[in-house]
Structures are given as C-alpha cells and as structure tokens.
Amino acid sequence: MMKPGRFNLAREGYPFILIGVFLTVIFLLVFKPLAIVSGLFLAFTLYFFRDPERRVPKDRSLLVSPADGKVLKVESLPAGPYLAQAHQKISIFMSPMDVHVNCIPCDGKVKEVQYHPGKFFVASLDKASVDNERNAVILETPEGKEVAFVQIAGLVARRIVCYARASMPVRRGERYGLIRFGSRMEVCIPPEWEVIVKPGDKVKATQSALARMK
C-alpha cells in the first residue's frame, strides 16, 4: 500500500501517460498537427493522475475524507447494504478535475471488501449509490466500531481500483485505490460520531476531516 506523499503521480496512470508520450513523439515526427491533440491528452492524463502530498491532521480523533470532491449529502440511516446497524452516511462527488486517489479514513483492520457490478449513471445522482458499479471496504476500528467507505463508478468512470484486502491492517491517510474519470465516494460511520461537514463543502482526501470519532 502506498504511503502518503510517496508518489507525485498515481501508478495507475503510468500506462496512459506512456501512451500519450509515445503518440506525441510519433506525431511530431510524421504529422505535427496531431501532436497537438496527443499533447493535450498527455497533459490531461498528467493532471488527472496527480497524487499530491497531503498532511494527515494531528488530531487522532478526526476521521478524514477518503476522496477529493464536494459533499453532496449527509444522512442518517437505520441500516444499509454495508452496515447492518444504524449509521450516518456522507456522500462525496468527485468531478473529473478532482484528485482521484483514494485514502483510508481512519485506523483499523479491513473486515471485508465487497465488489458489486452495476450500471454507470451520473455519479451525482442518488440512484448511483445503489445502481452503479461499486466497491465497499468495511473496516473495524481499534475501538471495535465499524466504518464503510464505498467507491462508486460514474458515467465516465469505468474502472475502480482497490488494493485493500480482508484482514489487512490499515492506517489513516494511506492510499488504497483510485477511480478513473469522475465518480462518487460514500462513507458510513457510527451514529454517535460528530459529522463536521455539510452539503456543498469541498473536501480533500487525507487532509480534510469529515467527522469526529467518539
């Protein structure tokens, strides 16, 4: 698992970046107008797969955001597909312009990883939460609390990458995956934890706190 700040570019982007470099070089040699197109593709891939260094908050009671994006909704649920007990759910929309590397929101041990095939609706729609392709990581904190964080594919996002595995110990701020080209992240937490974000807030993975753990 990647450590925070270790790479400036997400390794999942290397094949796309190499393709962009190769095409740009070839077109510069044989047909320069197309080199502009391939150069723009290369610039986009470099931008999209950026993996900036982030500092984890020193306060160990803070649950950090697993993704960059905008908070869409904060809601309380009696139960759900990932946590059987009552919980709060925070939904985050990731636009194609956001950093798409995903991080672990709190310390713990992975209990289970659930992959669900599905459709590719626009990720900002509520139905994307249950109908789209998604991958859920259920984690148990050192205090015995369950937390779930779910990568959800979107209209353009067609590839979910997750390196977390059952029984794996994880630490807050570690990289664990990526969703390509616009998507959604949902975080399910115990009902007694204090949510400190609201709909419309912009958050950054690892750096921004979503809730205070109790």
Q: Could you report the per-residue pLDDT of 108-147, keeping only the tens digit for each?
A: 999 999 998 878 777 777 787 887 889 999 999 999 999 9
Residue type at 148 in one-letter notation: A
The strand pair at 69-77 and 183-189 is best described as unpaired
The pLDDT tens digits of the residues spanning 69-110 come to: 999 999 999 998 999 999 999 999 988 888 888 999 999 999
Query: In this model, does residue 6 exceed pLDDT 70?
Result: no
Q: Is 167 a catalytic residue?
A: no
The pLDDT tens digits of the residues spanning 154-193 come to: 776 567 899 999 999 999 999 999 887 668 999 999 999 9
What is the per-residue pLDDT for 197? 97
Task: Tell me 32's DSSP state.
Answer: H
Instruction: Find out whether 181 and 96 touch, Cβ atoms under 8 Å.
Output: yes
Q: Which two tokens stand for residue 173?
A: 């701020």
The pLDDT tens digits of the residues spanning 189-214 come to: 999 999 999 999 999 999 999 999 98
Which of the following is catalytic: 124, 129, 183, 208? 183
Q: Which helix (H) or strand (E) holds 74?
A: strand 69-77
User: How is domain 62-212 classified at the architecture level of CATH?
Assistant: Distorted Sandwich (2.70)
More confident residue, 124 or 23: 23
Spatial separation of the C-alpha atoms in residues 128 and 134, rounded to whole Å: 9
The pLDDT tens digits of the residues spanning 41-76 come to: 898 888 878 888 888 999 999 999 999 999 999 999
Q: Which two tokens stand for residue 3?
A: 């450590």
- Side-by-side strand order, sheet with 194-195: 62-64, 209-212, 194-195
